[in-house]
Structure 1
Amino acid sequence: MRMSSSAAHVRVSSAVLGIALAAGTAFGAAACASAEPAASTGAPAPAGLIELAHVRVLAEFDESAGQNAESIALEPDGGAVIGMISARQVVRVRGDGGTEVLVTMPVPADGGGTTPVVGFPQVTGVARDQGGAVFFLYSAGRGGLTGIWRLAPGSTEPELIVPMPADTMPNALLIDQPGDRFLVTDSTGGRVWEAPLSGGEPSVWSADPTIAPSGFFGANGLKLHAGAVWVSNYDLGTIVRIPVEQSGAAGPAAVHATGLTGIDDFDFTGRGEEILAALNDTSELVGVAADGSHRVLLDGDDGLQGTTAVVVRGDSAFITNGALREGDRPALRVARLVGG
């Protein structure tokens, strides 16, 4: 069910509690993939907005091991690389649903209790370049661990290529190839950082008030589209558009959509500014029209549990269940884009 604004404090506290509980579990191998189809296609979308159908499970993960799926980087074979929050892992899901753990990050000497807001270390955003290198974010509350890590193709030893300040909470990661830079959201700082693709020191690209937190997380999901950087604000339930100026600097930010309670990650459908957005708090996937209006497309009846991310490729949408606050089936699901 949807949560009213009067329940915001309860919502945030519940989210922190859910994350903390997940952090206390032991970690292990990923569960076997499931080929069973999910339930219905959800509520019908408004006229002109795309619909989703044929929802199926590509892979399920081990909730008891802290494999709470967070972010998605697609691979050429139809599989994906997934960041696992509480397990501190990067997991590969093959196109046939098979899984393998690529990286498990070490626990800091202090246990990671200084990690901003959440109080435990976690792997969040992932990205993949055309050469097959995997990049991921680790937030550990300590310098020398927090930042952007690179895993070279065929390697099992990641390296920290962009160290970020210990008080940041890096969340979403993207590769801006034309700009020769990474872009990273900092959820507790309410900022977007940039850093060279070759590695090195990061700098703040935008700290606009529209992406600031209001009690928990601000800037969360992140996409580059049509000459602008788009950022979701978890606390405010908004999607913000920040134009990229000719110099590469951030232009004036503007709120594009509101009313998206507990929004995490999002992606564009390929039809202009139409968006699919993952709502973590309500376990929903919503379609957001170009004018900012939105409608629920998939929900718990379709097997969603703590929806964390969505990535679109062609006519397929890849969706992760984090299952942090509710449920016990973190998973990667795939749905078909139809109609509209």
Structure 2
Amino acid sequence: MLGAIGVTVGSGFVGNATARRGGAVDRVLSTGSPVPENIGFDDDGNLYVGIVAGSVRRLPADRTDESGLGLDATTEVATYPGGVAGVLVSDGTLYTAVNGESGGVYAVELDSDDGPNELATLLPDGEGFVNDLYRDGDRLLATESFGGTVYEIPLDGGDPGVWVQDPLLDTSSFGANGITRIGGCVYVAVTRAGDSGRIVRVPVNDDGSAGAPRTFAEGTELFGADGLTARGRQLYAALNSQNRIVRLTPSGEVKTVVEGDPLSFPSEVVFDPTEPGRAFVCNFSQENPERAGVLRTHP
């Protein structure tokens, strides 16, 4: 879930707690380099961390309430022929977006000893960036950040294809990124649209096809919109270059819930399914790998 690396908004925060918004922010896991780009949970509360060098590591559920851990607290689940972007666990399967000589989506059955299986090659020449994943019923939706595209990957073995491609998702910089769904609409974060960020809402038709995309929210307060998560009727977005986590109300109002140190280029925010009020943040922090890892907070 790469974005606008190198743009940082100073906040004056010190230590492990935010001074103005949100509760305490604890550093659960420090990875160093290579850095993590995305995280996800399984239903049992095990945390999966995608590493840009091409692996996914798992932190067991009984350790997610600890702080100050290193990679030795995790186990390697799978390795891939490229860098890992999106991470999704659903029904015992780990899905990942991987970019290397080609860009595609892989699956690993977690209760087997089999390695990753490539479900779909979306970018055969490797040009572009397959980014985030969302499971929508019997298919996966995958964003591609340089072509303004969301791909559809059937889980029954059917051929993948373009679900939606639209100028609202495409920018001269980094476009379609995080993806989630609330009710009858899919929401896609657009990282950089000039000096602004954007959240695009795409209606899902009765047959599963995409309706006409519309801007749900846009502005400088969303610049760097990266990972996108739904909780009830509200959206949560990680704003990488602003070191902020924001909540968007159903009307599109943007409210900061956590900001400042120790956030460092946050690329994803997800909620623990076993403790829904508890959120985990991925610090991508490629330019400052000593700050890279996973944080815990209660936004």
Q: Residue in 2 aligned with 1:286? A: 246
1:103 to 75, 78, 85: 78
Q: Residue in 2 aligned with 1:316? A: 278
Q: Residue in 2 aligned with 1:258? A: 218
Query: Given the alignment of the two structures, is residue 245 of structure 1 paired with residue 205 of structure 2, yes or no?
Result: yes
| Deviation, structure 1 residue 156 | 5.1
Which 5+ residue runs of structure 2 have no aligned equivalent?
8-14, 65-72
Query: Given the alignment of the two structures, is residue 62 of structure 1 paired with residue 32 of structure 2, yes or no?
Result: yes
Q: Residue in 1 aligned with 2:116? A: 158
| Deviation, structure 1 residue 241 | 0.5
**Which deviates more, 180-189 or 146-155?**
146-155
Query: Given the alignment of the two structures, is residue 174 of structure 1 paired with residue 131 of structure 2, yes or no?
Result: no
Percent of aligned pairs with the same amino acid: 29
Q: Residue in 2 aligned with 1:83? A: 50
1:1-340 matches, cutoff 5 A: 12=4, 14=6, 39-44=16-21, 52-63=22-33, 66=34, 68-85=35-52, 87-95=53-61, 96-97=63-64, 98-106=73-81, 121-130=82-91, 132-142=92-102, 146-153=103-110, 154-155=112-113, 157-166=115-124, 167-177=127-137, 180-214=138-172, 216-236=173-193, 237-259=197-219, 260-270=222-232, 272=233, 274-301=234-261, 303-313=262-272, 314-326=276-288, 328-337=290-299
Q: Tell me which of the two structures has the higher relative contact order, counting C-alpha pairs closer than 8 angstroms and 6 or more residues apart.
A: 2
Aligned AA for 1:82? V
Please give the alpha-carbon distance, in whole angstroms, between the structure 2 residues aligned to 1:311 and 1:289: 17
User: Secondary structure at the residue paired with 1:328?
Assistant: helix
Aligned AA for 1:148? V
Q: C-alpha deviations, 1:248-278, integer Å up to 9, x for none?
A: 11111111111211110121232x2x22210
Q: Cα–Cα, structure 1 residues 72 and 217, in superposed 2: closer, same or farther, change >3 Å?
A: same
| Deviation, structure 1 residue 181 | 0.8
| Deviation, structure 1 residue 316 | 1.3
| Deviation, structure 1 residue 220 | 0.2
Please give the alpha-carbon distance, in whole angstroms, between the structure 1 residues aligned to 2:258 and 2:59: 22
How does the TM-score come out when normalised to structure 2?
0.84
Deviating 4+ runs (over 6 angstroms)? none
| Deviation, structure 1 residue 165 | 2.3
| Deviation, structure 1 residue 13 | 7.0
| Deviation, structure 1 residue 331 | 1.4
User: Secondary structure at the residue paired with 1:210?
Assistant: helix
User: Secondary structure at the residue paired with 2:212?
Assistant: coil
How does the TM-score come out when normalised to structure 1?
0.74
Report if aligned partners of 1:318, 1:334 keep a CA contact under 8 Å in 2.
yes
Which 5+ residue runs of structure 1 have no aligned equivalent?
1-10, 16-37, 45-51, 107-120
Please give the alpha-carbon distance, in whole angstroms, between the structure 2 residues aligned to 1:325 and 1:257: 29
Report if aligned partners of 2:32, 2:289 keep a CA contact under 8 Å in 1.
no
Report if aligned partners of 2:168, 2:213 keep a CA contact under 8 Å in 1.
yes
Please give the alpha-carbon distance, in whole angstroms, between the structure 1 residues aligned to 2:39 and 2:293: 11
Report if aligned partners of 1:190, 1:217 keep a CA contact under 8 Å in 2.
no
**Which deviates more, 248-257 or 279-288?**
279-288
Please give the alpha-carbon distance, in whole angstroms, between the structure 2 residues aligned to 1:217 and 1:100: 32
Q: Cα–Cα, structure 1 residues 156 and 333, in superposed 2: closer, same or farther, change >3 Å?
A: farther
Report if aligned partners of 2:271, 2:278 keep a CA contact under 8 Å in 1.
yes
**Which deviates more, 327-336 or 232-241?**
327-336
Q: What is the RMSD of the two structures over their aligned residues, measured on CA atoms? A: 2.0
Please give the alpha-carbon distance, in whole angstroms, between the structure 2 residues aligned to 1:186 and 1:207: 10
User: Secondary structure at the residue paired with 1:258?
Assistant: strand
| Deviation, structure 1 residue 242 | 0.3
